[in-house]
Amino acid sequence: MQRTSPLIKRFLSYLEVERGLSRNTLLAYAADLLRLQNWASEKKQILRGLTARDIERHLGDLNREGLDARSIARSLSTIRSLYNFLFLENEVDSNPTIEVATRTNTRTLPRVLTEEQVSLLLSQPDTSTDLGLRDRALLELLYATGVRITEAITLRHRDLNLNSRFLLCHGKGNRERQVPITRQAIEWIEKYSATKTLGLRSINATLFLNQQKPLTRQYAWTVINHYALAANLIDVTPHTLRHCFATHLLENGASTPFVQRLLGHQSILTTEIYTRVSQLYLRRSYDKHHPLARCGFDHKMRLMEHKVRLVES
């Protein structure tokens, strides 16, 4: 019987001790990771050396073995969390699942958190530290504006107009757009800007820094997933907050063209996927909260029978 990789053991121990996950959850994580380890061993590879293409091949083999789409998605989420942990522990130079997540997410409806889950995620950074303030400001900005992670980490001080509460976003194809920003996000950005870590900088300097250097997409992606894990939220990426931004706006009455403009989509067809997510949310919310939808036809019949008995008595 193959021994469990020390890297996997460390990760599972972290989940148990630091995150306090249940035994059943840990067993599910272990099963997914042991499948990956066995696959890598058969291919004469090691976990540290796997690439995005390797992860895709592994997921493809799981599909051919008969695993359903939900199980494969869970396996990818587990593998992504493992490599986030290994990256933060300096065991690997990069997370090979980032590109896999990008390709996979385009085939399905976007993963969207509830408003309560977003609030929980935003509250995770330790804002008594400079790094915690930076991370809170970044999370707040992503959810408040829906900008892409690349757009966020390339923002300069001059791109933010804190008085009018707008930021100038440099999107794909060098297209610029103005996006409004919440007062709450501005307050956290101002707190972060006042830290000693950031210091006095030129208006042309990048806003979000790591050791006096601009954040990389890899680093920002890992930091966000770290806080998601702390909040016991799975399968969360920087793009998840963009999805939440769009879906929550539509759920609260915003028009699709308005959301399209904020997101910087050239085609409204790209934006309309969020209307499907919003409709799905409304359907589930209706089924959950309406008494007859929640309990079904049998419940309605029981109510009618009860009324008949009252009349007969």
How would CATH label the architecture of 115-274? Orthogonal Bundle (1.10)
Q: How many CB atoms lie within 10 A of CB 227?
A: 21
Cα–Cα distances in Å, from 194 out to 160, 168, 187, 244, 309?
Answer: 15, 21, 11, 29, 71
Query: Catalytic residue positions?
Result: 148, 172, 239, 242, 265, 274
H-run or E-run covering 178: strand 176-180
- Rg of the chain, C-alpha, whole Å: 23
Please report, in tens digits, the pLDDT of each residue of the chain (313 residues total).
Answer: 468 889 999 999 988 888 888 888 889 899 999 999 999 999 899 999 999 889 988 988 888 787 777 788 888 889 999 998 998 888 988 888 887 854 444 445 567 888 999 999 999 999 999 999 999 999 999 999 999 999 999 999 999 988 889 999 888 767 888 999 999 999 999 999 888 665 556 788 889 998 888 898 888 988 898 999 899 888 788 888 999 998 888 888 888 888 888 888 877 777 777 766 666 555 555 566 556 555 544 444 454 444 444 444 4
Predicted confidence at residue 289, as pLDDT, reads 55
Predicted confidence at residue 37, as pLDDT, reads 93
Predicted confidence at residue 108, as pLDDT, reads 54
Q: Which residues have C-beta within 8 Å of that of residue 148, sequence separation ≥ 6?
A: 171, 238, 239, 242
**Full-model pTM:** 0.61
CB 54 within 8 A of CB 41: no
**Domain limits of the chain?**
6-105, 115-274
Predicted confidence at residue 284, as pLDDT, reads 59
CATH superfamily of 6-105: Tyrosine recombinase, N-terminal domain (1.10.150.130)
Predicted confidence at residue 287, as pLDDT, reads 62
User: CA-CA distance, 71 to 63, in Å (whole number)?
Assistant: 9
Question: Quick one: which of 37, 80, 41, 76 has its CA closest to 60?
Answer: 76
User: CA-CA distance, 75 to 31, in Å (whole number)?
Assistant: 9
